[in-house]
Amino acid sequence: MHAITGPTQTDLPLIKDGDAGLVIKSDGKIQVFNTFDLDNLTIEQAATHERLTALTVALRVPKIMGILLTMAEDPDVMSLLPA
Protein backbone atom coordinates (compact mmCIF):
# COMPACT_ATOMS: atom_id res chain seq x y z
CA MET A 1 0.00 0.00 0.00
CA HIS A 2 1.34 3.45 -0.89
CA ALA A 3 0.49 6.96 0.22
CA ILE A 4 0.45 9.78 -2.30
CA THR A 5 1.05 13.23 -0.85
CA GLY A 6 1.07 15.27 -4.05
CA PRO A 7 -0.05 15.08 -7.67
CA THR A 8 3.51 14.80 -9.02
CA GLN A 9 5.07 12.66 -6.32
CA THR A 10 7.00 9.73 -7.76
CA ASP A 11 8.73 8.41 -4.64
CA LEU A 12 5.78 6.91 -2.79
CA PRO A 13 6.32 6.07 0.91
CA LEU A 14 5.20 2.60 1.90
CA ILE A 15 2.66 2.38 4.70
CA LYS A 16 4.33 0.29 7.36
CA ASP A 17 3.24 -1.85 10.28
CA GLY A 18 2.11 0.41 13.11
CA ASP A 19 0.87 3.18 10.80
CA ALA A 20 -2.66 4.55 10.91
CA GLY A 21 -4.53 7.18 8.97
CA LEU A 22 -7.66 8.27 7.24
CA VAL A 23 -8.65 8.84 3.65
CA ILE A 24 -11.27 11.33 2.53
CA LYS A 25 -12.70 9.86 -0.65
CA SER A 26 -13.77 12.01 -3.61
CA ASP A 27 -17.41 11.42 -2.66
CA GLY A 28 -16.73 12.80 0.85
CA LYS A 29 -16.82 9.45 2.62
CA ILE A 30 -14.15 8.78 5.22
CA GLN A 31 -12.15 5.60 5.45
CA VAL A 32 -10.03 4.99 8.54
CA PHE A 33 -7.24 2.44 8.62
CA ASN A 34 -4.62 1.14 10.99
CA THR A 35 -2.04 -1.58 10.74
CA PHE A 36 -1.80 -2.53 14.40
CA ASP A 37 -3.58 -4.94 16.72
CA LEU A 38 -6.10 -2.94 18.77
CA ASP A 39 -5.98 -5.60 21.50
CA ASN A 40 -2.21 -5.28 21.95
CA LEU A 41 -1.28 -1.60 21.51
CA THR A 42 2.02 -0.02 22.41
CA ILE A 43 1.85 3.32 24.23
CA GLU A 44 2.60 5.11 20.96
CA GLN A 45 -0.05 3.16 19.05
CA ALA A 46 -2.63 3.87 21.75
CA ALA A 47 -1.89 7.60 21.42
CA THR A 48 -2.17 7.37 17.64
CA HIS A 49 -5.45 5.46 17.93
CA GLU A 50 -6.82 8.12 20.30
CA ARG A 51 -5.90 10.96 17.92
CA LEU A 52 -7.27 9.09 14.92
CA THR A 53 -10.54 8.46 16.75
CA ALA A 54 -10.82 12.17 17.60
CA LEU A 55 -10.14 13.16 13.97
CA THR A 56 -12.71 10.66 12.73
CA VAL A 57 -15.35 12.12 15.05
CA ALA A 58 -14.48 15.64 13.92
CA LEU A 59 -14.80 14.71 10.27
CA ARG A 60 -18.06 12.81 10.67
CA VAL A 61 -19.92 15.31 12.88
CA PRO A 62 -20.97 18.33 10.78
CA LYS A 63 -21.11 20.75 13.71
CA ILE A 64 -17.56 19.90 14.80
CA MET A 65 -16.31 20.05 11.22
CA GLY A 66 -17.91 23.49 10.87
CA ILE A 67 -16.06 24.71 13.95
CA LEU A 68 -12.77 23.37 12.57
CA LEU A 69 -13.36 24.96 9.16
CA THR A 70 -14.04 28.31 10.84
CA MET A 71 -10.86 27.95 12.88
CA ALA A 72 -8.89 27.16 9.71
CA GLU A 73 -9.96 30.53 8.27
CA ASP A 74 -8.61 32.42 11.30
CA PRO A 75 -5.08 33.72 10.67
CA ASP A 76 -4.35 33.72 14.43
CA VAL A 77 -5.16 30.01 14.62
CA MET A 78 -3.24 29.19 11.45
CA SER A 79 -0.19 31.03 12.79
CA LEU A 80 0.01 28.38 15.54
CA LEU A 81 0.91 25.70 12.98
CA PRO A 82 4.56 24.72 12.94
CA ALA A 83 6.47 25.79 9.83
Are 37 and 46 spatial neighbours (Cβ–Cβ below 8 Å)?
no
Q: 34 in helix, strand or coil? A: strand
pLDDT at 32 over 60: yes
Burial of 21 (0-12, 13-18, 19+ CB in 10 A): middle
Are 20 and 36 spatial neighbours (Cβ–Cβ below 8 Å)?
yes
Q: What is the pLDDT of residues 37-73, one digit of tens each?
A: 888 989 988 998 899 999 999 988 999 999 999 999 9
How far, CA to CA in Å, does 1 sit from each of 13, 15, 33, 73, 81? 9, 6, 12, 33, 29
